[in-house]
Amino acid sequence: MNHPRLATTPAELSKAITELLEATGKDRPALGLVPTMGALHQGHAALAQAARADNDVVVASIFVNPLQFDDPDDLARYPRTLEADLALLGEAGVDIVFAPAEETMYPGGAPLVRVSSGDLGNRFEGAFRPGHFDGVLTVVAKLLHCAQPAVPAEYRAYFGQKDAQQVALIRRMVADLNFPVQVFPVPIVRAEDGLAESSRNVFLGPEQRKDALVLSQALFQLQERAAAGRPLDLPAAVELITSRGGVELDYFEVVDPLTLAALPAGPSDTLSGPALALVAARVGSIRLIDNAELSG
Ligand code: AMP
Protein backbone atom coordinates (compact mmCIF):
# COMPACT_ATOMS: atom_id res chain seq x y z
CA MET A 1 0.00 0.00 0.00
CA ASN A 2 1.09 3.52 -0.83
CA HIS A 3 1.54 5.97 2.06
CA PRO A 4 0.38 9.31 0.72
CA ARG A 5 2.32 12.42 1.72
CA LEU A 6 0.18 14.63 3.92
CA ALA A 7 0.12 18.38 3.21
CA THR A 8 -1.85 20.78 5.42
CA THR A 9 -0.96 24.14 3.84
CA PRO A 10 -1.01 25.36 0.22
CA ALA A 11 2.79 25.87 0.38
CA GLU A 12 3.39 22.27 1.52
CA LEU A 13 1.02 21.02 -1.17
CA SER A 14 2.70 23.01 -3.92
CA LYS A 15 6.16 21.81 -2.84
CA ALA A 16 5.08 18.15 -2.75
CA ILE A 17 3.41 18.43 -6.19
CA THR A 18 6.47 20.05 -7.77
CA GLU A 19 8.82 17.44 -6.29
CA LEU A 20 6.74 14.50 -7.51
CA LEU A 21 6.12 16.00 -10.97
CA GLU A 22 9.85 16.69 -11.40
CA ALA A 23 10.72 13.19 -10.17
CA THR A 24 8.83 11.71 -13.15
CA GLY A 25 11.59 13.04 -15.43
CA LYS A 26 8.91 13.80 -18.07
CA ASP A 27 8.68 17.07 -20.02
CA ARG A 28 4.97 17.31 -19.39
CA PRO A 29 3.74 14.91 -16.71
CA ALA A 30 0.06 14.76 -15.71
CA LEU A 31 -1.43 15.71 -12.36
CA GLY A 32 -4.87 14.52 -11.23
CA LEU A 33 -6.82 16.20 -8.41
CA VAL A 34 -9.68 14.51 -6.51
CA PRO A 35 -11.50 16.92 -4.19
CA THR A 36 -13.49 15.29 -1.33
CA MET A 37 -14.97 16.08 2.06
CA GLY A 38 -13.65 12.85 3.60
CA ALA A 39 -15.80 10.08 5.15
CA LEU A 40 -14.66 8.20 2.09
CA HIS A 41 -16.38 5.19 0.51
CA GLN A 42 -16.19 3.23 -2.73
CA GLY A 43 -17.53 6.18 -4.73
CA HIS A 44 -14.52 8.25 -3.72
CA ALA A 45 -12.23 5.26 -4.33
CA ALA A 46 -13.50 5.13 -7.94
CA LEU A 47 -12.52 8.80 -8.40
CA ALA A 48 -9.05 8.15 -6.97
CA GLN A 49 -8.64 5.05 -9.16
CA ALA A 50 -9.70 6.95 -12.29
CA ALA A 51 -7.18 9.68 -11.47
CA ARG A 52 -4.50 7.05 -10.75
CA ALA A 53 -5.08 5.36 -14.11
CA ASP A 54 -4.73 8.62 -16.09
CA ASN A 55 -1.98 10.56 -14.31
CA ASP A 56 1.61 10.51 -13.10
CA VAL A 57 0.84 12.22 -9.81
CA VAL A 58 -2.47 12.08 -7.90
CA VAL A 59 -3.59 14.50 -5.20
CA ALA A 60 -6.75 14.03 -3.13
CA SER A 61 -8.05 16.75 -0.86
CA ILE A 62 -10.07 16.24 2.30
CA PHE A 63 -11.85 19.35 3.53
CA VAL A 64 -15.32 19.64 5.02
CA ASN A 65 -16.21 23.00 3.52
CA PRO A 66 -18.40 25.01 5.92
CA LEU A 67 -19.34 27.40 3.11
CA GLN A 68 -21.48 24.80 1.32
CA PHE A 69 -23.57 23.76 4.34
CA ASP A 70 -26.78 25.73 4.71
CA ASP A 71 -27.73 23.70 7.81
CA PRO A 72 -25.36 24.00 10.82
CA ASP A 73 -26.56 20.62 12.23
CA ASP A 74 -25.69 18.90 8.95
CA LEU A 75 -22.18 20.40 9.17
CA ALA A 76 -21.74 19.48 12.84
CA ARG A 77 -22.68 15.84 12.33
CA TYR A 78 -20.91 15.33 9.00
CA PRO A 79 -18.76 12.20 9.55
CA ARG A 80 -15.02 12.80 9.99
CA THR A 81 -12.85 9.69 9.56
CA LEU A 82 -9.34 10.91 8.65
CA GLU A 83 -7.37 7.75 9.53
CA ALA A 84 -9.65 5.46 7.51
CA ASP A 85 -9.69 8.01 4.68
CA LEU A 86 -5.89 8.05 4.46
CA ALA A 87 -5.87 4.23 4.34
CA LEU A 88 -8.46 4.18 1.51
CA LEU A 89 -6.56 6.81 -0.47
CA GLY A 90 -3.28 4.97 0.08
CA GLU A 91 -4.92 1.77 -1.18
CA ALA A 92 -6.10 3.62 -4.29
CA GLY A 93 -2.54 4.78 -4.97
CA VAL A 94 -2.96 8.48 -4.17
CA ASP A 95 0.41 10.25 -3.81
CA ILE A 96 -0.47 13.35 -1.83
CA VAL A 97 -3.37 14.16 0.51
CA PHE A 98 -4.17 17.82 1.10
CA ALA A 99 -6.07 18.13 4.39
CA PRO A 100 -6.08 21.79 5.42
CA ALA A 101 -7.64 23.17 8.62
CA GLU A 102 -10.61 25.51 8.29
CA GLU A 103 -8.41 28.46 9.39
CA THR A 104 -5.98 27.63 6.58
CA MET A 105 -8.67 27.70 3.89
CA TYR A 106 -10.54 30.67 5.36
CA PRO A 107 -7.99 32.60 7.44
CA GLY A 108 -10.18 35.66 7.93
CA GLY A 109 -13.37 33.66 8.43
CA ALA A 110 -15.91 33.34 5.63
CA PRO A 111 -14.52 34.91 2.42
CA LEU A 112 -15.90 38.22 1.20
CA VAL A 113 -15.49 37.36 -2.50
CA ARG A 114 -17.10 34.14 -3.75
CA VAL A 115 -17.85 32.39 -7.01
CA SER A 116 -21.49 32.88 -8.02
CA SER A 117 -23.23 29.80 -9.39
CA GLY A 118 -25.89 31.93 -11.14
CA ASP A 119 -29.26 30.56 -12.26
CA LEU A 120 -27.97 27.01 -12.63
CA GLY A 121 -27.00 27.07 -8.96
CA ASN A 122 -30.46 28.17 -7.81
CA ARG A 123 -32.32 25.17 -9.16
CA PHE A 124 -32.74 21.59 -7.88
CA GLU A 125 -30.22 21.22 -5.02
CA GLY A 126 -29.71 24.98 -4.94
CA ALA A 127 -33.43 25.59 -4.41
CA PHE A 128 -33.39 23.36 -1.33
CA ARG A 129 -29.95 24.44 -0.09
CA PRO A 130 -29.59 28.22 -0.54
CA GLY A 131 -25.95 29.24 -1.13
CA HIS A 132 -24.80 25.62 -1.43
CA PHE A 133 -23.34 25.86 -4.92
CA ASP A 134 -21.67 29.24 -4.38
CA GLY A 135 -19.93 27.52 -1.45
CA VAL A 136 -19.02 24.50 -3.58
CA LEU A 137 -17.66 26.57 -6.49
CA THR A 138 -15.72 28.85 -4.15
CA VAL A 139 -13.94 25.97 -2.43
CA VAL A 140 -13.36 24.08 -5.69
CA ALA A 141 -11.86 27.27 -7.20
CA LYS A 142 -9.54 27.54 -4.19
CA LEU A 143 -8.56 23.86 -4.33
CA LEU A 144 -7.91 24.06 -8.07
CA HIS A 145 -5.61 27.03 -7.43
CA CYS A 146 -3.85 25.33 -4.51
CA ALA A 147 -3.05 22.21 -6.56
CA GLN A 148 -2.22 24.09 -9.79
CA PRO A 149 1.11 22.67 -11.07
CA ALA A 150 3.95 25.21 -10.90
CA VAL A 151 5.92 23.31 -13.57
CA PRO A 152 4.68 22.36 -17.08
CA ALA A 153 2.05 19.62 -16.62
CA GLU A 154 -1.35 18.39 -17.74
CA TYR A 155 -3.89 19.27 -15.05
CA ARG A 156 -7.02 17.19 -14.54
CA ALA A 157 -9.73 17.18 -11.87
CA TYR A 158 -12.15 14.34 -11.10
CA PHE A 159 -15.73 14.69 -9.89
CA GLY A 160 -18.48 12.15 -9.29
CA GLN A 161 -21.52 12.03 -11.55
CA LYS A 162 -23.43 11.28 -8.33
CA ASP A 163 -23.51 15.08 -7.91
CA ALA A 164 -24.61 15.78 -11.49
CA GLN A 165 -25.58 19.42 -10.90
CA GLN A 166 -22.21 20.00 -9.24
CA VAL A 167 -20.41 18.55 -12.27
CA ALA A 168 -22.46 20.76 -14.62
CA LEU A 169 -21.63 23.84 -12.54
CA ILE A 170 -17.92 23.03 -12.22
CA ARG A 171 -17.71 22.54 -15.99
CA ARG A 172 -19.32 25.97 -16.43
CA MET A 173 -16.98 27.61 -13.91
CA VAL A 174 -13.93 26.11 -15.62
CA ALA A 175 -15.16 27.25 -19.05
CA ASP A 176 -16.55 30.63 -17.99
CA LEU A 177 -13.54 31.61 -15.86
CA ASN A 178 -10.77 29.95 -17.95
CA PHE A 179 -9.43 27.57 -15.33
CA PRO A 180 -6.48 25.70 -16.92
CA VAL A 181 -7.77 22.27 -15.94
CA GLN A 182 -9.72 19.47 -17.62
CA VAL A 183 -12.78 18.17 -15.78
CA PHE A 184 -13.45 14.42 -15.77
CA PRO A 185 -16.78 13.05 -14.51
CA VAL A 186 -16.73 9.56 -12.95
CA PRO A 187 -19.82 7.28 -13.06
CA ILE A 188 -21.92 6.74 -9.92
CA VAL A 189 -20.82 3.89 -7.66
CA ARG A 190 -23.74 1.99 -6.10
CA ALA A 191 -23.95 -0.54 -3.29
CA GLU A 192 -25.12 -4.02 -4.30
CA ASP A 193 -28.70 -3.16 -3.41
CA GLY A 194 -28.62 -0.20 -5.85
CA LEU A 195 -28.29 2.63 -3.33
CA ALA A 196 -25.84 5.27 -4.54
CA GLU A 197 -22.85 5.37 -2.19
CA SER A 198 -22.88 8.48 -0.02
CA SER A 199 -21.11 9.59 3.14
CA ARG A 200 -24.59 10.20 4.62
CA ASN A 201 -25.71 6.57 4.16
CA VAL A 202 -24.15 5.66 7.54
CA PHE A 203 -26.99 7.60 9.19
CA LEU A 204 -29.70 5.40 7.65
CA GLY A 205 -31.21 2.74 9.91
CA PRO A 206 -31.95 -0.69 8.34
CA GLU A 207 -35.61 0.19 7.58
CA GLN A 208 -34.67 3.61 6.25
CA ARG A 209 -32.09 2.04 3.98
CA LYS A 210 -34.80 -0.18 2.49
CA ASP A 211 -37.03 2.87 2.01
CA ALA A 212 -34.15 4.72 0.33
CA LEU A 213 -33.88 2.03 -2.36
CA VAL A 214 -37.03 3.38 -3.97
CA LEU A 215 -34.95 6.23 -5.42
CA SER A 216 -32.66 4.02 -7.49
CA GLN A 217 -35.60 1.73 -8.36
CA ALA A 218 -37.53 4.68 -9.79
CA LEU A 219 -34.46 5.81 -11.74
CA PHE A 220 -33.86 2.32 -13.13
CA GLN A 221 -37.51 2.19 -14.21
CA LEU A 222 -36.99 5.35 -16.28
CA GLN A 223 -33.73 4.01 -17.69
CA GLU A 224 -35.44 0.82 -18.84
CA ARG A 225 -38.30 2.68 -20.50
CA ALA A 226 -35.84 5.02 -22.26
CA ALA A 227 -33.69 2.11 -23.45
CA ALA A 228 -36.79 0.35 -24.83
CA GLY A 229 -37.90 3.51 -26.66
CA ARG A 230 -41.08 3.65 -24.59
CA PRO A 231 -42.61 6.83 -23.13
CA LEU A 232 -40.82 7.84 -19.91
CA ASP A 233 -43.95 8.34 -17.83
CA LEU A 234 -42.20 10.29 -15.10
CA PRO A 235 -45.47 10.62 -13.11
CA ALA A 236 -45.50 6.82 -12.65
CA ALA A 237 -41.92 6.91 -11.33
CA VAL A 238 -42.85 9.80 -9.03
CA GLU A 239 -45.79 7.74 -7.75
CA LEU A 240 -43.45 4.85 -6.93
CA ILE A 241 -41.56 7.16 -4.57
CA THR A 242 -44.44 9.11 -3.07
CA SER A 243 -46.37 5.91 -2.31
CA ARG A 244 -43.46 4.71 -0.15
CA GLY A 245 -44.02 5.73 3.47
CA GLY A 246 -40.94 7.22 5.12
CA VAL A 247 -39.74 8.97 1.97
CA GLU A 248 -40.44 12.66 1.29
CA LEU A 249 -39.77 13.59 -2.33
CA ASP A 250 -38.13 16.97 -2.91
CA TYR A 251 -37.87 16.83 -6.70
CA PHE A 252 -37.79 14.35 -9.56
CA GLU A 253 -37.24 15.67 -13.08
CA VAL A 254 -35.89 14.72 -16.47
CA VAL A 255 -33.46 17.34 -17.79
CA ASP A 256 -30.91 18.15 -20.48
CA PRO A 257 -27.55 16.78 -19.18
CA LEU A 258 -25.61 19.99 -19.87
CA THR A 259 -28.05 22.83 -19.21
CA LEU A 260 -30.33 20.97 -16.75
CA ALA A 261 -33.32 22.50 -18.57
CA ALA A 262 -36.47 20.40 -18.01
CA LEU A 263 -37.44 17.97 -20.79
CA PRO A 264 -40.94 16.61 -21.47
CA ALA A 265 -41.32 13.26 -19.69
CA GLY A 266 -45.05 12.61 -19.47
CA PRO A 267 -46.94 9.34 -20.14
CA SER A 268 -46.69 9.89 -23.91
CA ASP A 269 -43.25 11.55 -24.19
CA THR A 270 -40.37 9.52 -25.61
CA LEU A 271 -36.77 10.72 -25.51
CA SER A 272 -35.30 12.52 -28.50
CA GLY A 273 -31.69 12.70 -27.20
CA PRO A 274 -29.59 12.13 -24.10
CA ALA A 275 -31.25 13.09 -20.83
CA LEU A 276 -30.66 12.95 -17.12
CA ALA A 277 -33.18 12.06 -14.43
CA LEU A 278 -32.49 13.93 -11.18
CA VAL A 279 -34.07 12.95 -7.88
CA ALA A 280 -33.78 14.15 -4.27
CA ALA A 281 -35.72 12.98 -1.23
CA ARG A 282 -35.56 12.89 2.53
CA VAL A 283 -35.62 9.65 4.46
CA GLY A 284 -36.24 10.76 8.02
CA SER A 285 -33.81 13.65 8.44
CA ILE A 286 -31.35 12.26 5.89
CA ARG A 287 -31.37 13.99 2.54
CA LEU A 288 -30.39 11.79 -0.39
CA ILE A 289 -29.76 12.63 -4.04
CA ASP A 290 -29.39 10.34 -7.01
CA ASN A 291 -29.56 10.50 -10.80
CA ALA A 292 -29.36 8.39 -13.92
CA GLU A 293 -28.44 9.00 -17.52
CA LEU A 294 -31.25 8.10 -19.92
CA SER A 295 -30.66 7.18 -23.51
CA GLY A 296 -32.88 5.71 -26.20
P1 AMP B 1 -18.04 14.52 -1.21
O2 AMP B 1 -16.95 14.01 -0.31
O3 AMP B 1 -19.39 13.99 -0.88
O4 AMP B 1 -17.97 16.01 -1.42
O5 AMP B 1 -17.72 13.88 -2.62
C6 AMP B 1 -16.45 14.04 -3.21
C7 AMP B 1 -16.52 13.58 -4.64
O8 AMP B 1 -16.89 12.21 -4.68
C9 AMP B 1 -17.56 14.34 -5.45
O10 AMP B 1 -17.03 14.60 -6.74
C11 AMP B 1 -18.71 13.38 -5.49
O12 AMP B 1 -19.53 13.54 -6.61
C13 AMP B 1 -17.97 12.05 -5.56
N14 AMP B 1 -18.85 10.96 -5.13
C15 AMP B 1 -19.55 10.87 -3.97
N16 AMP B 1 -20.31 9.75 -3.95
C17 AMP B 1 -20.10 9.13 -5.13
C18 AMP B 1 -20.59 7.92 -5.74
N19 AMP B 1 -21.47 7.14 -5.13
N20 AMP B 1 -20.15 7.61 -6.98
C21 AMP B 1 -19.25 8.40 -7.63
N22 AMP B 1 -18.75 9.54 -7.11
C23 AMP B 1 -19.15 9.90 -5.89
The tens digit of pLDDT for each residue in 5-39 reads 999 999 999 999 999 999 999 999 999 999 999 99
Is residue 274 within 8 Å of residue 261, measured between CB atoms?
no
Distance between CA atoms of residues 245 and 213, nearest Å: 12
Please name the residue whose Cα sits nearest to atom 15 of ligand 1. 43
pLDDT, position 278: 98
pLDDT of residue 137: 98
Q: Are residues 49 and 129 in the same domain?
A: yes
Q: Are residues 239 and 159 in the same domain?
A: no
198 alpha-carbon distance from chain centroid: 10
The band of 2, judged by pLDDT with boundaries at 50, 70 and 90, is: confident
Residues in contact with ligand 1 (CB, 6 Å cut-off): 36-37, 43-44, 46-47, 159-160, 162-163, 186, 188-189, 196-199
Average model confidence (pLDDT) across the chain: 97
Separation of alpha carbons 64 and 135, rounded Å:
11
Backbone angles phi, psi at 57, to 5 degrees: -130, 135
Ligand 1 atom with minimal separation from the 196 CA: 19
pLDDT tens digit string along 128-159? 999 999 999 999 999 999 999 999 999 999 99
Burial class (CB in 10 A: 0-12, 13-18, 19+), 104: middle
Contact present, 40 and 79 (Cβ < 8 Å): no
* pLDDT value of position 4: 97
Q: How confident is the model at residue 123 (pLDDT cuts 50, 70, 90)?
A: very high
Do 42 and 101 sit in the same domain of this protein?
A: yes
* Biggest CA-to-CA distance, the chain: 60
Question: Domain range holding 49?
Answer: 5-186
* Distance from the alpha carbon of residue 152 to the mean position of ligand 1, in angstroms: 28
pLDDT of residue 259: 92
- The answer to whether residues 63 and 178 belong to one domain is yes
Binding residues: 37-44, 68, 160-163, 166, 189, 197-200
Do you know the residue count of the chain? 296
Q: Is 3 a catalytic residue?
A: no
Sheet (strand 96-98) strand order: 5-7, 96-98, 57-62, 30-36, 154-160, 182-186
pLDDT of residue 296: 76
Give yes or no: residues 59 and 206 share one domain: no
113 lies in the same domain as 144: yes
CATH number of the domain bearing residue 245: 3.30.1300.10
296: in domain: no
Query: 119 and 259 in one domain?
Result: no
Q: Which of 37, 40, 42, 47 to mutate to test the pocket of ligand 1 (most atoms within 8 A of CB)?
A: 47
119 and 52 in a common domain: yes
Convert the pLDDT of each residue in 226-261 to its tens digit.
Answer: 999 999 999 999 999 999 999 999 999 999 998 999
Predicted confidence (pLDDT) at residue 275 exceeds the cutoff of 90 = yes
As for how many domains the chain has, the answer is 2
For residue 31, the SS3 value is strand
Check whether residue 143 and residue 70 sit in a common domain.
Answer: yes
Mean pLDDT of 162-166: 98
CA 281 from centroid of its chain's CA atoms: 17
Predicted confidence (pLDDT) per residue in 201-233, tens digit? 999 999 999 999 999 999 999 999 999 999 999
